[in-house]
Structure 1
Amino acid sequence: MNFDYDLFVIGGGSGGVRAARIAASEHGAKVALAEEYRMGGTCVIRGCVPKKLMVFASTMPGMVEEARAYGWSADQGQFDWTAFRTKLDAELDRLEAIYRRGQTNAGVTLYDQRATVSGAHEVTLADGSTVSAKHILVATGGRPFVPDFPGCEHVLTSNDIFKLDALPKRILIVGGGYIACEFACILNGLGVKVTQYNRSPLLREFDTEARDLIVDQMQAGGIEIHTHTVITEIKKTEDGLQVTCGEGREEVFDTVVYATGRTPYTEGLGLEQAGVSLGERGEVLVDEWSQTNIPSIYAVGDVTNRVNLTPVAIREGHAFADTVFGGMARQMDHELIASAVFTQPEFGTCGITEAQAEERGQTEIYVSSFKPMRSAFAGADARVLMKLIVCRDSRAVLGCHIVAPDAGEMIQMVAIAMKMGATKEQFDATCAVHPTMAEELVTMRKPARQY
């Protein structure tokens, strides 16, 4: 059978564009890609990139205050959201153009419209036309989830924060995951009065000792946090949005943002009608080759709800292209994936948590918590945490958790050693770089706890 394309990719985010480019430019496939919004996906347009730029902006007041402690005459002035957003929009336009150019230069045909799966080898475009493809790759990512309750139409999601016309004076962030906590820190740093609600402890999926330190410092920085709190109703009033909680608390905010998780974006894609199996949360079920139960249809990235990180989607997309079109059978290794949470303080993590170590047994926990030199000299109360989790038998480092400025930069380097199977003794044999915070990772000699 002759097909219009060897590969049709639905979704122009990180995983989709990598798969399309590699299949076309390196393996000679005839490829098309459809994106209904903007090329670059969640990470580039409404996630990692603009968020990180907002993180940089939000840390400037702290730098000014620290500068004074170091003898500089420094004035903070006022933050100009409009000027920042104008520059941010221009940067996102630039990045989108780079992504688009990368596809066209590779020979990928782009469709700037929604596409749905209408058969094992058929895709229907929003304009009503259909195209055939030997292989279809679903890479539509995820989207914010907002529960249904009275007044839910008044809330924003993390997608909307980048498009605010002006910063509110009072904002409520609902949620306790890394997205909610990052935006709480960002907006607090930009001068907004931030309150955060969540039904459970914040950052509960992460190491408890690390998250407790982060939450303590978030509160010390001025963020008002209420856990075990569930919103039952939101009403729009002359004073703002009146929020009512199950325990009877009522507060008024200018803006309410829900960051209560993301769900795979599969609704209305025609996957079920095409026979593709979906999971309980709507995720596309795939095997270790990213292949669905329909042999011609594959999926990568957040839409599969495996490990929802941009670099993971990129590697899954690359492995798919190499396997299907390059004759190089490759799978994405989902073990020991490092990640960073850009709260203030920053958090870098790789491997198992202490709670998981306790369940596993035969582990040692090495911990160092201290006030870093830079903060101590400035008279600040900031503390950092370094933690290693070690297998007692193999001596391999099974987990590393860092709460510190630039923790994301540090955990990237540690993850290389962990991926290579480095032991605690090999960490110890590495000479320290002094004076640094990271030297604690190679100078902790006695375990604080054993399981």
Structure 2
Amino acid sequence: MSAFDYDLFVIGGGSGGVRAARVAAGETGAKVALAEEDRYGGTCVIRGCVPKKLMVFASEYRDMPATARAYGWDIADGQFDWTAFRTKLNTELDRLEEVYRKLLKGSGVETFDARATLKDAHTVKLSTGEEKTAKHILIATGGRPQRPDMPNAHLGMVSDDIFHLDKLPKSVLIVGGGYIACEFACILHGLGVKVTQFYRGAQILRGFDDEARGLIADAMKGRGIDLHTGTTIVEMHCVGTPEADAMGEAPVDDVQYGQPEQEEIGSGPVRVKATNGTIRDFDAVFFATGRVPNSDDLGLEALGIEPGRNGAIEVDEYSQTKVPSVYAIGDVTNRVNLTPVAIREGMAFVETVFKGNPTPVDHELIPSAVFTQPEMGTVGLTEEQAAEQEEIEVYCTSFRPMQMAFVDAPDRVLMKLIVSKANRTVLGCHIVAPGAGEMIQLAGIAVKMGATKEDFDRTVAVHPTMSEEIVTMRNPARTR
């Protein structure tokens, strides 16, 4: 009989933790338990990828009536009903959470709806007062959005709050320039909210290809998003308070009322002073200023596991901490914070620990997508990154897609390949276009396999499509 209650105890019921638990139990026969203090499915399913993507779909219908009319359809503009959408969204999230619970149960995983912390290297303590022992402990507690360190930051909401609004604000200030900020700027604009965005950097989407992010910034401005780079908040107060009055008056046409009262994110319109000196009122302020690992109060320090930068749990290539029996995967390690990566890390953990096949996690050449309007799909090095390490050729084309050119819309598409001049390997692929996320998944296979530019050239184009341009660019736009 085992000296432990379980072979594996997983802390966290998000995508990575659930996958590791059910594969360990279902495929290796390990005795597994999992504890989740909130909802099963984690950030991705409950307050991240899934609800966000459904909001992206909803927001894209705003322009469809005008496009349809240009194609000859007699269609009138509609009105978005947030209450109806949110009701259906919550129903779908409830369904998905139940799917996760059933997957765990079907694999033989025992679950605890409780917070779990580490007591020692083989013991977890539950918020119910119970203690459980395990040969291995896997921490998969994910991350959370972070408000900036400034007075009255509590007046602003974060991404977790957006799905719980009773009604949409009439105006919103989004603070941040990363993919979450830009995605929600496009989403809320598409749903009819007046959107202003402040970002302290010189250009949004830092870390992505310069040409691609420049095109997206131009497209966002062209759609009506009031984007200000090199700008952030100096001061913010609730409208109507003496502190707000002392800031000065905001322009009358900027005053937008209607945000529902919510104690946790303020109780009404907010007056904001920016670094550029302007003073404006907004129904809501939305901070998209970064995320941090959920490593607080887990009992790590008592085991000698000191969290690293921003609270990340430091692990080796096999996701093992300094304590041999304790592992960590997903956003809590702050390596590559993407759901499919957390799932891969969970699978590699099971291979290593329960299948006797040491499997390091591969974090190279991971495709990703940014669901702005238009979308961006990317894999590999940016032009700037590649040029720093070797001489490259850049194959690039930008054009109006057939569908939108027909209706004389300004939308543009970008297709870009970064190629090593020495060995012709495609080092990076960047696409800005409707459906770019779908395209980059397939392009990512070729790049991951080490395809050369000539491999792309030998592939026959699918015509007429936007994606055919990826295999028809013959001459480099520039060499660096």
Residue 65 of structure 2 aligns to a residue whose secondary structure is: helix
Q: Tell me which residue corresponds to 1:188.
A: 189
Q: Tell me which residue corresponds to 1:12.
A: 13
Q: Report the more deviating stretch, 240-249 or 69-78.
A: 240-249
Identical columns (%)? 63
**Distance (whole Å) between structure 1 residues aligned to residue 231 and residue 458 of structure 2:** 48
Q: Tell me which residue corresponds to 1:123.
A: 124
1:224 counterpart (206, 223, 226): 226
Q: Tell me which residue corresponds to 2:213.
A: 211
Q: Tell me which residue corresponds to 1:84.
A: 85
Cα deviation, residue 258, structure 1? 0.4
Task: Summarize deviations over 1:286-334 as a string: whole Å, max 9, x none.
Answer: 1110001110000001111111100000010011012101222222211
**Distance (whole Å) between structure 2 residues aligned to residue 291 and residue 90 of structure 1:** 37
Cα deviation, residue 65, structure 1? 1.2
- Give, as a single letter, the amino acid of the residue that structure 1 aligns with 2:226: E
Q: How does 1:312-327 map to 2 (within 5 A)?
A: 312-327=341-356
Report if aligned partners of 1:150, 1:232 keep a CA contact under 8 Å in 2: no
**Distance (whole Å) between structure 2 residues aligned to residue 273 and residue 71 of structure 1:** 69
2:423 counterpart (377, 388, 394): 394
Q: Tell me which residue corresponds to 2:239.
A: 237
Q: Tell me which residue corresponds to 1:159.
A: 160
1:422 counterpart (451, 458, 466): 451
Cα deviation, residue 246, structure 1? 3.2
Q: Does 1:24 align with 2:25?
A: yes
Report the number of matched residues. 451
Q: Tell me which residue corresponds to 2:410.
A: 381
1:412 counterpart (434, 441, 459): 441
**Distance (whole Å) between structure 2 residues aligned to residue 246 and residue 148 of structure 1:** 16
**Distance (whole Å) between structure 1 residues aligned to residue 437 and residue 138 of structure 2:** 31
Scaled by the length of structure 2, the TM-score of the pair is 0.93
2:398 counterpart (337, 356, 369): 369
Report if aligned partners of 1:339, 1:348 keep a CA contact under 8 Å in 2: yes
Cα deviation, residue 405, structure 1? 0.4
Q: Does 1:270 align with 2:335?
A: no
Q: Tell me which residue corresponds to 1:433.
A: 462
Q: How does 1:76-115 map to 2 (within 5 A)?
A: 76-115=77-116
Q: Supply the RMSD in Å over aligned alpha carbons.
A: 1.0
Q: Tell me which residue corresponds to 1:294.
A: 323
Q: Tell me which residue corresponds to 2:248.
A: none
Report if aligned partners of 1:277, 1:293 keep a CA contact under 8 Å in 2: no
**Distance (whole Å) between structure 2 residues aligned to residue 280 and residue 56 of structure 1:** 35
**Distance (whole Å) between structure 2 residues aligned to residue 106 and residue 331 of structure 1:** 25
**Distance (whole Å) between structure 2 residues aligned to residue 19 and residue 167 of structure 1:** 37
Residue 378 of structure 1 aligns to a residue whose secondary structure is: coil
Structure 2: runs of 5 or more not aligned: 241-256, 258-268
**Distance (whole Å) between structure 2 residues aligned to residue 158 and residue 76 of structure 1:** 29
**Distance (whole Å) between structure 1 residues aligned to residue 132 and residue 334 of structure 2:** 27
Cα deviation, residue 233, structure 1? 2.0
**Distance (whole Å) between structure 2 residues aligned to residue 230 and residue 80 of structure 1:** 31
Cα deviation, residue 96, structure 1? 0.2
**Distance (whole Å) between structure 1 residues aligned to residue 207 and residue 119 of structure 2:** 37
Report if aligned partners of 1:433, 1:439 keep a CA contact under 8 Å in 2: yes
Structure 1: runs of 5 or more not aligned: none
Task: Summarize deviations over 1:218-259 as a string: whole Å, max 9, x none.
Answer: 000000011111212211124620012234221100011101
- Give, as a single letter, the amino acid of the residue that structure 2 aligns with 1:147: P
**Distance (whole Å) between structure 1 residues aligned to residue 382 and residue 470 of structure 2:** 16
**Distance (whole Å) between structure 2 residues aligned to residue 113 and residue 275 of structure 1:** 24
Q: Tell me which residue corresponds to 1:357.
A: 386
**Distance (whole Å) between structure 1 residues aligned to residue 375 and residue 413 of structure 2:** 9
**Distance (whole Å) between structure 2 residues aligned to residue 62 and residue 247 of structure 1:** 32
Q: Tell me which residue corresponds to 2:370.
A: 341
**Distance (whole Å) between structure 2 residues aligned to residue 31 and residue 346 of structure 1:** 40
Residue 56 of structure 1 aligns to a residue whose secondary structure is: helix
Report if aligned partners of 1:176, 1:203 keep a CA contact under 8 Å in 2: yes
Report if aligned partners of 1:338, 1:351 keep a CA contact under 8 Å in 2: yes
**Distance (whole Å) between structure 1 residues aligned to residue 383 and residue 33 of structure 2:** 45
Q: Tell me which residue corresponds to 2:176.
A: 175
Cα deviation, residue 433, structure 1? 0.8
Report if aligned partners of 1:22, 1:322 keep a CA contact under 8 Å in 2: no
Q: Tell me which residue corresponds to 1:135.
A: 136
**Distance (whole Å) between structure 2 residues aligned to residue 153 and residue 319 of structure 1:** 39
Q: Does 1:331 align with 2:333?
A: no
- Give, as a single letter, the amino acid of the residue that structure 1 aligns with 2:182: C
- Give, as a single letter, the amino acid of the residue that structure 2 aligns with 1:203: L
1:309 counterpart (315, 338, 356): 338
Task: Summarize deviations over 1:103-160 as a string: whole Å, max 9, x none.
Answer: 0111111111111111111111112221111111000111001112111111100011
Deviant stretches of 4+, over 3 Å:
none
